[in-house]
Each structure stands twice: as C-alpha cells, then as structure tokens.
C-alpha cells in the first residue's frame, strides 16, 4: 500500500514506467482503448461497442487521452500523439502532467483534487512543452469515462492561435489606452480650449480651458448639441454665426471662424474669441465628428505681445538683448555716416561679481544685476542703448558721438554709478567695472568686429588692475587662454572687493 501511495505522489516529477505487456500487445496492432474497456465488458455486444468507440476516438481531430485514477496515460489517440510530439508507446504509462509547463504544474494537482481526483468535470487552460521545447497553449477538459469505469477521459484543444490573437488584442488595447491617456493629458495641458463632437454634432469632450471659457462643466456639456454649448454671434450685429463644427464636417476640411465673433457663455456673459474647426476622420475613412479649437482673443493678443517682448529682451533684467543691439547698431552707423560722427561700443565686465554669487548667493546676484542695469541705463541718452550681453557682461551702444573722449566720460560715469553702494537684502555691495571701448569707423565697420575689439580692450583694462577703461588700439590682442596675462586678467576678475 505504501508503494502505491509513493507512486501516486511522484507522478508530477517525471514519466512513469511503461507496461511491457501493453507495449507488446499494442505493437501487434491492438488498441489500448480496446483492452481497457474489455476489462469492463460482460458480453459480446459490449466488446463490439468498445471496438467502435476505439475507432471513433482514433479518428477524431481532437486530442484525446484516457488515464487511470492516478493520472497515468493508458490511451492516446493520433491527434494527441501529434500534439505531444510523441508516439503512443512513449506516452503509455506516463503521467499526463509530464508535458505541462513547470509554472502550471504547481497549480494543476490542487485543482485535480478539488474536482474529486477527476470525478467531477474539470476544464482549464495551461501551457505544454513539447520534447523540442516548443510551448503551446491548450484547453484541457477532464471527465469520468463512464459511471462504471474508474478511468478519466481528457480532451485537449490547441488554443495557441487563439491566445496569440488575445495577446495581440490585449497589447493593442493597452497601446491604445496609453495613446488615449497621452492625448487626454496633452489636451488638458495646452493653453487653447478644445471641444470635440461625434458625427451627429453631439459634444463628446471639453478640456479644462474649454470648460472655463464656455462656463459648461464637462459632465453637463457631453451629450448636448454643439450649438447649445458653443453659441457664437457676430460682435457688431449680434446675429448667430453658423455652426463651425457642422461646416467642418460638411466640407471635410479645416474652417476658420469669421473675425470679430463673441462666445455667449453659459452665464450670459460674452467673450471675444478666435477659433478653427476640423473634421475627425476614422481609420476607415469615415466621418467620426469634429474638433473645435478656440482661444480668448484678449489672452491671445497678450501672449503674442509677451512672446515678442521676450524675444527682444533679457529675461532677468528686462534690458534689450543682442537682437535689438544688432538692429540699433545698423541704424547708428547709418546716422553716423550721414552726419560724419562716430559710434562707440563699450564692453563692460564686473570685476568682483563671482565673489558676490559665491558669498551671498545667486538670488542676491540676480537682484544686483537688475539694480545695476537700471543704473547703467541712467548714465546714457535715450538714443543710446545698454544691453545685457550675458552673465555679468554688458555692451553699450553710443550713437553719434563727436570725440573719443565722449565714450571715456560715459565709461567713467558708469564706473562711478556701479561703485555706489547697493543694499541688497541688507547686504551693502559695491561693484567695480572694467570697460573696453572701440569706435566706428576707426576700429571697424561691423558690429561683430567692434564688439570683439571692445572685448579685447576690456581684457587689457583688467591687465592694468581692473576698475578702469581702455580704448582699443591697433595690434591689441586678447590674452591667450592659459597664458600668464590671461591668468592675471582672471585673477583680477575674481578678486573680491565687496564694500
């Protein structure tokens, strides 16, 4: 009895021994199914029925196994042998679980026991591994062979193709879900209002900006006619504007709203807007709806003005940037030629600004740059221009000066303005400037050349100890990186002279 129990407990660990008598009998052309059922046949009629059943099972395209109470295979039809990639003799006497993937093999015995060791019908899906290592998905059903026969019949369907299709659908669904979520987040984050409809003109979606501008909550708007949520009139006459989404769907093209239109919000207030609508075409080329994008005209004008300003001014100080300097330089040179005057370019560098940042922090440094920019601007005429060139460097354009000394006086004036104490967050700070000066037409005619030569002159001012200005002279060079003169200039630039 203990030996029998040991065999039963070991069936999941590998193939069982084969019955030699059964093997020899089967090799002679007999059907194992016939032998099994013959044991339970009491007359000739039952034996004939058994033989008929054997022929039927052998001809079925569905894989069939018959096992004893312990789960050992006593019969397999050709379809099963093909699925297992094994012959009848190789399968005979082995446990039907031997070909199951190891991960499924852990759970199957428990389900087998829950079904009363096969007395109750049981169906499940699992993976099988063929001798070649190929994995296939199967749907496995187990039931008692007959009430009087203590055998189990297994039907096994190869559902690999079905599983592959399900996996493909699941993968596509997940990808679509991610894409929809990405689109939703994008629509919620953009600054324009977005309303979409279905092909009948019913609202299907509003983003947060559209909710705010129309006054319609998303839950209340969805399902409403587009014309009820998006009511637009001409500002001068008050006459309604033709449904924009309807026009886009009829024309199957992007359409623009006429100018000077007002949106009638849900609370009755009016808002000047500008917008466009486009049809939504699905993957099959069918009309699926329309999407309308609109914005507050007031906010639009403000945004354009802000973008234009930022494109021409330094973000920190608000001073004109290099683009403005380039435009004004061309104008200054044109006037200087006409009136036979000169143009001065000053390149300014703060000698001790690094120490300010290191000792007091970048917030104090930023505040100091803002205050300094105002002082530098106050030192020049309205026709002149002061620009932040980058970091702690500034360039100044002096238009129509008659003598080089005029540029020198402006440089001195700026140095004195910077030397006066700044009080930034209770910190008294005094700044020191090194200034290089180049002149048109003596030192060049192009902006690039004059800015470069003013920069060279500024470095030579630092070589003299800083806190001074220097005019560019022919042959003057900027110190080579790493040279003794460059190190002197950099030391001068880093020297801390906080007041």
Q: How confident is residue 41, by pLDDT bands cut at 50, 70 and 90?
A: very low
pLDDT of 463 reads: 86
Percent over 70 (pLDDT), the chain = 80
Looking at the fold, whether 151 and 228 belong to one and the same domain comes out as: no
pTM of the model: 0.44
Say whether pLDDT at 48 is over 60. Answer: no
Residue 122 lies in a domain: yes
Give the residue, 289 or 51, on which the prediction is more confident: 289
Q: Which residue has the higher pLDDT, 307 or 156?
A: 156
Quick: pLDDT tens for 327-363: 999 999 999 999 999 999 999 999 878 888 778 888 8
Same domain, 296 and 323: no
Q: What is the CATH number of the domain that holds 477?
A: 3.30.70.270
By percentage, how much of the chain surpasses pLDDT 90? 36
Looking at the domain assignment, is residue 221 inside a domain? Answer: yes
Asked if residue 178 belongs to a domain, the reply is no
The answer to whether residues 254 and 347 belong to one domain is no
**Which CATH number does the domain housing residue 228 bear?**
3.30.450.20
Output the average pLDDT for the chain. 80
Q: State the pLDDT confidence band at 13, using cuts at 50, 70 and 90.
A: very low
Q: 73-77, 106-110, 375-379: which range is least confident on average? A: 106-110
pLDDT tens string 138-191: 888 888 877 666 788 889 998 888 888 888 888 887 887 777 777 777 666 667
What is the tally of structural domains in the chain? 3
Which of 277, 301, 325 is the C-terminal boundary of a domain?
Answer: 301
Q: Residue range 284-305: average pLDDT?
A: 78
| 321 lies in some domain | yes
Residues 382-396, mean pLDDT to the nearest whole number: 92
CA angle 224, 226, 227 (to 5 degrees): 110
Any domain includes 175: no
**What is the mean predicted confidence (pLDDT) over 449-466?**
90
Q: Confirm whether 165 is domain-assigned.
A: no
Please determine, for residue 403, whether its predicted confidence score (pLDDT) is greater than 50.
Answer: yes
Q: How confident is the model at residue 52 (pLDDT cuts 50, 70, 90)?
A: low
Confidence of residue 14 (pLDDT cuts 50, 70, 90): very low
Of 159-163, 267-271, 425-429, 443-447, least confident by mean pLDDT is 425-429
The three-state (H, E, C) secondary structure of the chain, written as one string: CHHHHHHHHCHHHCCCCCCHHHHHHHHCCCCHHHHHHHHCCCCHHHHHHHHHHHHHHHHCCCEEEEECCCCEEEEECHHHHHHHCCCHHHHCCCEHHHHECHHHHCCHHHHHHHCCCCCCCEEEEEEEECCCCCEEEEEEEEEEEECCEEEEEEEEEECHHHHHHHHHHHHHHHHHHHHHHHHHHHHHHCCCEEEEEECCCEEEEECHHHHHHHCCCHHHHCCCEHHHHCEEEECCCCCECCCHHHHHHHHCCCEECCCCEEEECCCCCEEEEEEEEEEEECCCCCEEEEEEEEEEHHHHHHHHHHHHHHHHECCCCCCECHHHHHHHHHHHHHHHHHHCCEEEEEEEEECCHHHHHHHHCHHHHHHHHHHHHHHHHHCCCCCCEEEEEECCEEEEEEEEECCHHHHHHHHHHHHHHHHCCEEECCEEECCCEEEEEEEECCCCCCHHHHHHHHHHHHHHHHHCCCCCEEECCCCCCCCCCCCHHHHHHHHHHHCCCCC
Co-location of 269 and 348 in the same domain: no
Residue 448 lies in a domain: yes
Q: pLDDT, tens digit, for every residue of 83-117?
A: 888 888 888 988 888 878 777 777 776 776 676 66
Closest to 138 (Cα-Cα) out of 163, 166, 111, 113: 163
Confidence of residue 263 (pLDDT cuts 50, 70, 90): very high
Calculate mean pLDDT across residues 243-263.
Answer: 90
Residues 35 and 135 in one domain: yes
Query: Residue 313 pLDDT > 50, yes or no?
Result: yes
User: pLDDT at position 3, please?
Assistant: 42
Q: Of 158, 181, 206, at which residue does a domain stop? A: 158
pLDDT at 363: 85
pLDDT at 189: 67
Are 386 and 320 in the same domain?
A: yes
Which residue range forms the structural domain that includes residue 61?
2-158
Domain-terminating residue out of 158, 182, 214: 158
Specify the pLDDT at position 50. Answer: 52
106 and 36 fall within a common domain: yes
Same domain as 54, residue 90 = yes
Domain assignment of residue 269, yes or no: yes
Q: Are 92 and 147 in a shared domain?
A: yes
Is residue 252 located within the same domain as residue 327?
no
Q: Are 246 and 357 within one domain?
A: no
Question: Within this chain, do residues 435 and 456 fall inside the same structural domain, yes or no?
Answer: yes
Given pLDDT bands bounded at 50, 70 and 90, which one contains residue 289? very high
The pLDDT of residue 309 is above 90: no
């Amino acid at each position: 009895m203990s030996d029998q129990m040991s065999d039963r407990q070991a069936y999941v660990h590998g193939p069982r021994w084969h019955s030699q008598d059964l093997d020899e009998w089967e090799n002679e052309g007999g059907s194992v199914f016939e032998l099994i059922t013959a044991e339970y046949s009491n007359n000739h009629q039952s034996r004939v029925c058994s033989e008929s059943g054997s022929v039927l099972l052998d001809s079925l395209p569905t894989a069939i196994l018959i096992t004893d109470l312990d789960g050992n295979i006593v019969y397999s039809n050709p379809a099963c042998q093909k699925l297992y990639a094994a012959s009848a003799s190789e399968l005979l006497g082995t446990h039907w679980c031997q070909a199951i993937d190891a991960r499924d093999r852990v759970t199957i015995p428990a389900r087998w026991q829950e079904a009363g060791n096969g007395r109750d019908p049981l169906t499940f899906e699992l993976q099988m591994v063929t001798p070649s290592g190929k994995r296939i998905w199967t749907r496995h059903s187990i039931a008692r062979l007959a009430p009087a026969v203590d055998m189990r019949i297994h039907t096994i369907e190869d559902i690999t193709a079905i599983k592959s299709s399900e996996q493909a659908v699941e993968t596509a669904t997940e990808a679509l879900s991610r894409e929809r979520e990405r689109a939703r987040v994008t629509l919620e984050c953009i600054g324009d209002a977005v309303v979409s409809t279905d092909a009948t003109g019913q609202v299907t979606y509003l983003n947060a900006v559209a909710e705010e501008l129309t006054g319609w909550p998303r839950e209340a708007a969805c399902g409403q006619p587009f014309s009820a949520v998006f009511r637009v009139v001409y500002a001068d006459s008050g006459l309604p504007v033709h449904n924009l989404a309807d026009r886009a769907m009829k024309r199957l093209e992007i359409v623009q709203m006429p100018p000077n239109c007002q949106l009638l919000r849900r609370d009755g207030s009016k808002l000047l807007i500008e917008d466009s609508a486009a049809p939504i075409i699905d993957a099959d080329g069918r009309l699926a709806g329309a999407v309308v994008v609109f914005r507050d005209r007031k906010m639009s004008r403000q945004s354009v003005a802000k973008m234009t300003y930022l494109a021409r001014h330094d973000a920190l100080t608000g001073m004109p940037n290099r683009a403005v300097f380039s435009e004004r330089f061309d104008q200054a040179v044109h006037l200087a030629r006409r009136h036979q005057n000169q143009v001065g370019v000053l390149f300014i560098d703060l000698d001790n600004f690094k120490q300010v940042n290191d000792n007091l922090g970048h917030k104090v440094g930023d505040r100091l740059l803002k205050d300094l920019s105002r002082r530098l601007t106050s030192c020049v005429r309205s026709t002149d221009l002061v620009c932040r060139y980058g970091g702690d460097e500034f360039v100044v354009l002096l238009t129509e000066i008659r003598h080089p000394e005029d540029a020198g006086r402006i440089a001195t004036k700026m140095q004195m303005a910077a030397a006066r104490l700044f009080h930034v967050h209770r910190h008294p700070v005094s700044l020191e400037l090194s200034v290089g000066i180049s002149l048109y037409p003596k030192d060049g005619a192009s902006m690039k050349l004059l800015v470069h030569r003013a920069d060279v002159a500024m470095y030579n001012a630092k070589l003299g100890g800083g806190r001074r200005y220097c005019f560019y002279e022919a042959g003057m060079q900027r110190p080579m990186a790493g040279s003794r003169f460059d190190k002197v200039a950099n030391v001068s630039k880093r020297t801390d002279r906080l007041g």
